[in-house]
A and B are shown apart, each in its own frame.
Chain A
Amino acid sequence: MRRRKRMLEELERDIRDHIERETEDNLARGMSPQQARLAAMRQFGNVTRVKEETRDVWGFVWLEQLLQDSRFALRRLRKSPAFTIVAILTLALGIGASTSIFSVVNTVLLGHLPYKDPGRLAMIWGANTRRGINQMPISPGDFFEWKQKNTAFADIAPSYDSQVTLTGEGNPLFLFGYAFSANYFSILGLSPELGRTFTSEEDRPGAPKVVVLSDKLWRTTFRADPGILGKAVTLNGEPYTVIGVMPTAFDFPTKVQVWIPIALPQSAAADYQHRYIRVMGRLKPGVSTDQARAQMTALALQIAAEQPATDAGNSVNIKPLRKQLAGDVQTPLLVLLGAVGFVLLIACANVASLLLARATARYKEIAACAALGASHARLLRQFLTESFLLSLAGGALGIAFALSCTKFLVSIFPNDIANLSIPHVESIPVNLPVLFFALFATLLTGLLFGVLPAMQSARANAADVLKESSRGASAGTRSARLRRVFVVAQIALSLVLLTGAGLFIESFERAARGSLGFQPDHVLGMEVFLAANHYPPNQPDKQRAFVRDVLERMKSLPGVVSVGAASTLPLTGFWGETDFFVEGRPTPKPGETPNADNRFITPGYFSTLRVPLVSGRDFTAADREGGRRVVIVDETLARHFLGGRPLGKRLNLGTPEKPEWWDIIGVAANVKAFGLERPDLPTIYRPYGQHPWPLLAFALRTAGDPSALIHVAEQTVWDVDRDQPIFRVLPVSTLAFQSVALRRVSTWLLAGFAALAVVLAAIGVYGVMAYSVARRTHEIGTRMALGAQPKDVLQLVLGEGARLTVLGIVIGLFAALALTRLMAGFLFGVGPSDPFTFATVVVVLTFVALAACYIPAHRAMRIDPMVALKYE
């Protein structure tokens, strides 16, 4: 910097000396001092140009010019504060919103996975297309075959979920546990933060029992005890030695707190019947997911041929780990990202329009610059600098917006939805990738909204400085045309957004309005897990007694209207299934056995949840062990399998060889057990007394607010069994609320973006129409002077607005039809080309656009011809 200054000073001095010498020579030639100097300067040429060209040679010029451009731009922006503030705010909104959504995408979809080379990891699920299942656990027999015969995976490892009860550390705790094989950890490539993971010796039946804890469990229940390694803990009544603690980053599967060795015995290789194994695999290098899928499917077919009784119809579904973790939140998130991108584009169009308008207003000034020698390139650079300064300011403010927006987004993020696979999100950081995105968005917007106006402005004709009536007539036309193009684009984009929002809203309405099949209000749900050591399966009386005692005590609690119990509550994500055979029907082929959701309930469960009985009767206390085997089926099962008249018929819940007949005594209404959007599975209810089940949930209908009874209910359970952990207790209406949380949040956000887009577009329309009216004031005055009525003027202006609107809507319709297809997977109960939604959106947008035109049109009507004719 200083060197340049010095070089400049030297150059000036050299030039001065040069001219001095020439002057002296001229004096010597006999000119007068004045003449000598003049001649010398003329001979020298344009000093400024010489200095400039020399500085060009030095090559610092671009930096100097950039600084100079920036200074000028800042000065100009300061002089029109209204414009500057509006532009910066608009940009900040667009950039801020985009950055916020991107940071969610970054955390949820692109987030750092703590595993080695996570792109090569995948879950290998079983599938059965006939039954419509695309993600199911497999049998140990299947697993051993896969392990032996697969060629696509370098290593695969089995696991299954295993709930455990931890006792001896304060209140009994119910924990999600997971049984892993020893190589599972090495496949994932994640090391424990303390201690170690299982060796293959420990992964054998009969080996000493070891356990690995989660960081969260260690810190909360064990108070970060530094001597945790080697400590004995009691799980399910048995001692386990803690050998390691996994870091917080290891959240797989979500909410799992303990890992124990799976210890699959070799004898399990013969078991193809029970399906409970979940498999994780690491692809061999160079093998793609598709190749693996093909190979595993072929293997599955082979196994199905060898084991037709159990595996017929089974195939394989491979889900890359990222997809598994992101699951159901991917589509709505990407839709939101697209939507916010549209908002940004619309915002850019607005700012570009503003710039164009401003340039047209300053046309004479720009023409003067051109006349003074500003080159086209230089002017272009000047205007682009201005645009970039605006976008940088907008970007900085936008990042500030994003910081608070992301906090808000975390608070509404749909964590804890039992039936959807959504990663648990605790924080959405605005970190480096997000900042890069913001920077990129800033630069891109600067370019987008800056280029056209800059090119437009730089085209100023120097000669126009002298023209009298020149408000830059021709340049103004070009500018006006550009702005009209922007408005059409804005309307089109808004239409697409509105349509998307409309479809989302429709889907949400249908999902939320959908009948659950029961009444969740005023019901408290409590889930417990009866551990096998306390309630051995071969002593079902203990379970029955427990349930009976608890129910009796709960019924007499103040504020409780009725109680009931079931193996699982709806919407909790717990479920079970069973095969069944209909009496009198031919034995189905393997793989085509009917399958139903399997629940055990007490009398009073239906009435507590207010599930209507369509026909027949509910269970009573008489339906107990030793009595007649009775079931209640739901409408779906009755309709599909029993021709709608199920009462009196029998179901075989054993096998064709060893049948177990159960009488159907009632039909219950369908209950949406898995969430409002899942199809109804046929359901079989059996009395709890006849078949106790370790998973148990109590339902209490309360007179007042169910959450007020939480402690009392818990205490009731502990009064009966001090060591019984309670897994979860919450109002069932919360479950219902949570089950549509994802849909609710995405709909609100998308609707918000669409509304923002419409507002911005309306502002754009208003701006263009106001400008057009101003430009045509003279013309309108002439028309009125020649006899046009105010309503003719109104028609004229509205007509122009209508033309733009119609064009925008037509283009938008085509775009919307194409793009909504992409969100079809997330829609519920409404198709991507739903005509009602499209029609509504078109009407709304037309109305908004015409309303925006109305004010300028109204003003046009009021034009006084006398004034207008004088107006130039």
Chain B
Amino acid sequence: MSTKDSRDRVELLQGTLDLLILRTLLRGPVHGHAIAKAIEMDSDDVLQVEQGSLYPALHRLIKRAWIAAEEGTSENNRRAKFYRLTAEGRRQLAVETRKWDKLAGAIARILRPSEQEG
């Protein structure tokens, strides 16, 4: 069961979160907790993702076969589930990044028209 407002919040971030996860995995297989940490760090703490929302996103990506999951051990010899990019995922990352850039650029142009008009 979910109340209305939080559903909205998640939906807003859904596509973006997927993209961020894919990007994080570009560097190599990581486990769930590390992905959350990485996103925080890489964004200089701007993005405070509710860590739990990672998991539905991860499973969505698994369902689409853009990432795959494996059992493994982490640094301190703890078991953990590691996620890695698949070839398809790599391709999708490029596509989604391009789309995001386009979107960001368009929004930026609208927000700062003075720069156009110069």
Please list the residues of chain A having a beta carbon within 8 angstroms of any beta carbon in chain B. 10-11, 14-15, 17-18, 21-22, 25, 43-47, 49-50, 52-54, 56-58, 372-375, 378
Contact = CB atoms under 8 A, between A and B. Distances in A.
A742 B3 CA distance: 63
B56 A54 contact: yes
Contacts of B36: 18
B2 A57 contact: no
B32 interface: yes
B1 A54 contact: no
B80 interface: yes
Given A49-B6, A372-B1, A375-B2, A10 B56 contact: no
Given A22-B51, A45-B53, A52-B2, A14 B81 contact: yes
B1 A10 contact: no
Given A14-B32, A18-B32, A43-B51, A54 B59 contact: yes
Interface residues on B, range: 20 to 34
22 contacts: A14-B81, A15-B52, A17-B78, A17-B81, A22-B51, A43-B50, A44-B52, A45-B50, A45-B52, A49-B52, A50-B52, A52-B2, A53-B10, A53-B56, A54-B56, A54-B59, A57-B56, A57-B59, A58-B63, A372-B1, A375-B1, A375-B2
B75 to A, nearest CB: 10
Interface string B32-46: 110011000000000
B60 interface: yes
Given A17-B80, A18-B33, A57 B60 contact: yes
A680 B41 CA distance: 105
Interface string B8-52: 001000000000000000000000110011000000000000111
Nearest to A375: B1
A640 B96 CA distance: 98
A452 to B, nearest CB: 24
B79 interface: yes
Contacts, number: 66
Nearest to B40: A43
A54 B33 contact: no
Contact of A54 (B37, B55, B79): B55
B63 A17 contact: no
Given A46-B52, A373-B3, A375-B1, A10 B81 contact: yes
A50 B63 CA distance: 17
B55 A50 contact: yes
Contact of B1 (A18, A47, A378): A378
A374 B53 CA distance: 20
Question: Of residues A25, A54, A372, A374, which shows the largest number of chain B Cβ atoms within 10 Å of its Cβ?
Answer: A54
Contacts of A54: 55-56, 59
Chain A facing B: main interface SS: helix
Given A57-B59, A373-B3, 19 more contacts: A10-B81, A14-B55, A14-B81, A15-B55, A17-B33, A17-B78, A18-B32, A43-B51, A44-B52, A50-B53, A52-B1, A53-B2, A53-B10, A54-B56, A54-B59, A58-B63, A372-B1, A373-B1, A378-B1
A375 B1 CA distance: 7
B118 to A, nearest CB: 45
A45 B9 CA distance: 13
Question: Of residues B32, B37, B55, which shows the largest number of chain A Cβ atoms within 10 Å of its Cβ?
Answer: B55
Nearest to A369: B1
Question: Of residues B36, B52, B60, B79, which shows the largest number of chain A Cβ atoms within 10 Å of its Cβ?
Answer: B52
Closest 6 CB pairs of A and B: A45-B52, A50-B52, A53-B56, A373-B1, A45-B50, A21-B33
Contacts of B60: 57
B35 to A, nearest CB: 10
Chain B facing A: main interface SS: helix
Nearest to B32: A18
Interface of B: 1-3, 6, 10, 32-33, 36-37, 50-53, 55-56, 59-60, 63, 78-81
Contacts of B6: 46, 49
A739 B67 CA distance: 81
A57 B59 CA distance: 7
A28 to B, nearest CB: 12
Nearest to B4: A375
Contact of A11 (B37, B55, B63, B80): B55
A18 B63 CA distance: 21
A56 B56 contact: yes
A18 B51 contact: yes
A45 B1 CA distance: 14
Contacts of B33: 17-18, 21-22
A58 B52 contact: no
Contacts of A22: 33, 51
Nearest to A376: B4
A646 B40 CA distance: 119
A58 B59 contact: yes
Given A18-B33, A57-B60, A49 B2 contact: yes
B71 to A, nearest CB: 9
A44 B79 contact: no
B24 to A, nearest CB: 15
Contacts of A53: 2, 10, 53, 55-56
Contacts of B55: 11, 14-15, 50, 53-54
A53 B33 CA distance: 18
A14 B6 CA distance: 23
Question: Of residues A22, A45, A56, which shows the largest number of chain B Cβ atoms within 10 Å of its Cβ?
Answer: A45
Question: Of residues B3, B51, B81, which shows the largest number of chain A Cβ atoms within 10 Å of its Cβ?
Answer: B51
A11 B32 CA distance: 11
A544 to B, nearest CB: 97
Contact of A57 (B50, B63, B79, B80): B63
B90 to A, nearest CB: 22
Contacts of B32: 14, 17-18
B55 to A, nearest CB: 5
A565 to B, nearest CB: 88
A49 B6 CA distance: 10
B21 to A, nearest CB: 14
A697 B52 CA distance: 96
A375 B56 CA distance: 20
A21 to B, nearest CB: 4
A173 B51 CA distance: 95
Nearest to B50: A45
B65 to A, nearest CB: 13
Contacts of A372: 1
A50 B1 contact: no
Contacts of A52: 1-2
Question: Of residues A25, A57, A372, which shows the largest number of chain B Cβ atoms within 10 Å of its Cβ?
Answer: A57
A676 to B, nearest CB: 69
A678 to B, nearest CB: 71
A17 B80 CA distance: 7
Contacts of A25: 37
Contacts of A56: 56
Question: Of residues A14, A374, A378, which shows the largest number of chain B Cβ atoms within 10 Å of its Cβ?
Answer: A14
Given A57-B59, A58-B59, A373-B2, A17 B79 contact: yes
A454 to B, nearest CB: 18
Contacts of A21: 33, 78
Nearest to B37: A25
Contacts of A14: 32, 55, 81
A49 B1 CA distance: 7
Nearest to B56: A53
A43 B33 CA distance: 11
Nearest to B74: A21
A69 B55 CA distance: 26
Contacts of B2: 49, 52-53, 373, 375
Question: Of residues B33, B37, B78, which shows the largest number of chain A Cβ atoms within 10 Å of its Cβ?
Answer: B33
A54 B51 CA distance: 13
Contacts of A378: 1
A50 B79 contact: no
A44 B50 CA distance: 6
A537 to B, nearest CB: 92
Question: Of residues B2, B32, B79, which shows the largest number of chain A Cβ atoms within 10 Å of its Cβ?
Answer: B2
